[in-house]
A and B are shown apart, each in its own frame.
Chain A
């Protein structure tokens, strides 16, 4: 762990001029009295944190990062808050609920081998009430269904492109592997159609759920393992491609900025990591591939996940979707759908996350959308839950337009 990097984030607090612009961007602050806002939790409280912080309200920060992006002075507000949350948990202990939610890989493994039974539990009202009582996961919160058979297993059967112009290593993340294996198959199919070969390096959960739930030590172990497992592909000249913008952002930035892993290897992996549409858009702009000539006569609201916004790469999926014929595409312009990973699943935060997400519901209504496109799994589950509309990864929509049978 590098002390120097810890400084880079911690010292950014000194650039705060107390202008409160971060507060104007925070989607949680207007939705609850319990969170005093990013400025107070972040740069303001940072001055009083020689040791462990004592404040509990930082736990109400959802970690969406809107404050960091809004700050004109370059203060890493959200990152300061993530660290403060971890030290609050270090002091008072991590609840069982957070330990469970942090371990999406373990949950996925258990759930997918026992899928029929596990899904029954998830779908039964009684099961959900019990889960709320016993561990504090709100009974209405949007949780996915386990899939029978993981994506990694299905991958072996997928065809490769005839003459690929590049080969990438796919970091699928837990949700694709255990809940939405079709998304991984779709990613491989889209990449194949566009001349990109895919290999599947061994990998673990990126660690973001552990970061959000305050378990930095466990998250660091995942991070170190992933760096070690992904490095050979990177050194062989392959880029790491992600279809979940939250896993992608964790590999790109959070290992360094939040967990403080600032090794050359971590930087190498980060520098090679690309969101799938970031890669395809770059290829399109450089003239390597052509935008698919396909039509999608649908009214699509595109909601860029908060984690994607933190990548700082604009909206590559929308740049790609926008080239489809007949599409009525609008961007949500909303900072966050509220779920922020596992935040909105929690009993005490479900209602807050719902209020935050109302803005997306309004935008979908205004646009008369028939589908909401979004690149992050938990956001899609939340959006589907709140709007009643189907929510799809943009790559699913591109494939639909290209007439790919799935």
Chain B
């Protein structure tokens, strides 16, 4: 065999939070990194917060650190059981990386913050963007929607919020307004499009002018999370100054503007550290005569990348990292590593309570890993050069626990570090 050079030390498949964190952690250690994905990752579908642990059963978790200790004790098979020491450095890495793009992430492991949602409910988050949180106690909230932007309904928000807040012992009032922006008639408005408009002074001026008569006694203005992409902090500060009251953003339907901010900031930090990113690449891991290769379904003929270490961060069934086959088997799509199957027969894998705790046994399926995030099959390491992180990992009920981002960051951090070592 001719001498072979591997152009990358670590290749990461998956461009969501787990993949980007893994790539960053590896690049931080001087590894030559390529991160690729079949498209953009789940950052575009999520709220742009870092949820570590929000619910324990029916209870809201106030202190994620304490909640984690309890969770790990009760469920030693949960991915967090391997990752408790990993969370703090992982969140620091992510926070520092996004700060380079002027995207601050506020909060820490000792307290969740209750953030209003677009539906007027409150949900706990560990880290959040500075545009999202405010003191709600005693507030008179004005929720403003933008005519033509159908992904946020201010009346629905205002109708739900007081009762939802009262359930957490918070008293407040809320009302709705709609801002009509005449020049937008020809647009079909979506979040990223509005975010781009909010970065332009003429648009902000007109928006503020139209909103001001509705302000009344409002002590807090709630807007859909569309206040800019690259310059969100600046836009937010301008709006607060001009309105004279705090302004919060409510993450609305995908594509998520706060999620895009997070993805862009992390991607940019990765590039600064010499990492490469390739979007639109479907990959398959192969071993050929001992050589580890990633085969990309490129145009006309496959593109094969020799590599040393591979991190799988392709997500669960929704993201396509795992696929539930018709035969009733869950399998992994890039390297074919063994998957811990859901308990029971396939007809019991799904429940009626969509997001309820433990209601979807299928979501517990996934890959078992050792402490170095290497996939296991029958208790043995499957391939010493393979690592896994994020939504692929078995044992968590992420949507019920509100734990997806914390697992992604912590396992991504561990997998990236181990792969680069």
Which A positions have Cβ atoms within 8 angstroms of B?
A: 19-21, 23-25, 29-30, 33, 36-37, 40, 68-74, 249, 251-253, 270-271, 273, 278, 284-288, 309-315, 319, 330-331, 333
Contacts and interface: CB of A to CB of B under 8 A. Distances in A.
A310 B299 contact: yes
A23 B36 CA distance: 20
Interface string B162-206: 000000000000000000000000111010110010000000000
A73 B306 CA distance: 26
Nearest to A286: B2
Nearest to B267: A333
A73 B297 CA distance: 15
Given A271-B301, A311-B299, A19 B45 contact: yes
B254 A21 contact: yes
16 contacts: A24-B260, A30-B193, A70-B39, A70-B40, A72-B38, A72-B320, A270-B301, A273-B300, A285-B6, A286-B4, A287-B5, A311-B299, A313-B299, A314-B305, A331-B276, A333-B267
A21 B298 contact: no
B278 interface: yes
A251 B301 CA distance: 12
B254 A19 contact: yes
Contact of A24 (B2, B44, B276, B301): B44
A74 B37 CA distance: 12
Contacts of A309: 279-280
B271 A333 contact: yes
Contacts of A271: 300-301
* Most B-side CB within 10 Å, residue of A19, A24, A68, A278: A24
Interface of B: 2-7, 34, 36-41, 44-45, 186-188, 190, 192-193, 196, 254-255, 260, 267-268, 271, 276-282, 296-301, 303, 305-306, 319-320
Given A72-B38, A314-B296, A315-B278, 6 more contacts: A33-B187, A74-B282, A271-B300, A287-B5, A331-B276, A333-B268
Given A19-B44, A24-B260, A331 B299 contact: no
Contact of A314 (B267, B299, B300, B303): B303
A405 to B, nearest CB: 30
A72 B280 CA distance: 8
Contacts of A331: 271, 276
Contacts of B276: 314-315, 331
Q: Chain B: interface secondary structure?
A: loop
A300 B90 CA distance: 33
A313 B298 contact: yes
Given A72-B320, A314-B34, A315-B276, A25 B40 contact: yes
B4 A24 contact: no
A45 B339 CA distance: 39
Interface centre among A286, A313, A330 (most CB of B within 10 A): A313
Contacts of A285: 4-7, 306
Nearest to B2: A287
A30 B303 contact: no
Contact of B254 (A20, A29, A330): A20
Contacts of A251: 300
Contact of A70 (B4, B279, B297): B279
B176 to A, nearest CB: 24
Contacts of B320: 72
A281 to B, nearest CB: 8
A292 to B, nearest CB: 14
B188 to A, nearest CB: 6
Contacts of A313: 296, 298-299, 303
B393 to A, nearest CB: 20
B306 A69 contact: no
B101 to A, nearest CB: 12
A288 B39 CA distance: 33
Contacts of A25: 40, 279
B255 to A, nearest CB: 5
A389 B56 CA distance: 58
B278 to A, nearest CB: 5
B299 A312 contact: yes
B38 A74 contact: yes
B32 to A, nearest CB: 10
A69 B15 CA distance: 13
B192 A24 contact: yes
A37 B193 CA distance: 10
Q: Which of A20, A72, A284, A319 has the most CB of B within 10 A?
A: A72
A373 B303 CA distance: 23
Given A253-B300, A314-B34, A29 B193 contact: yes
B321 to A, nearest CB: 11
A179 to B, nearest CB: 25
Contact of A312 (B45, B188, B296): B296
Contact of A33 (B186, B192, B279, B282): B186
Given A30-B193, A314-B303, A21 B2 contact: no
Contact of B281 (A19, A312, A330): A312
A33 B188 CA distance: 9
Contacts of B4: 285-287
A40 B188 contact: yes
A313 B305 CA distance: 9
Contacts of B297: 312
B2 A288 contact: yes
B280 A69 contact: yes
Contacts of B40: 21, 24-25, 70, 72
A253 B297 CA distance: 12
Nearest to A254: B299
A22 B319 CA distance: 16
A75 to B, nearest CB: 9
Contact of B319 (A72, A252, A287): A72
B315 to A, nearest CB: 9
Nearest to A22: B39
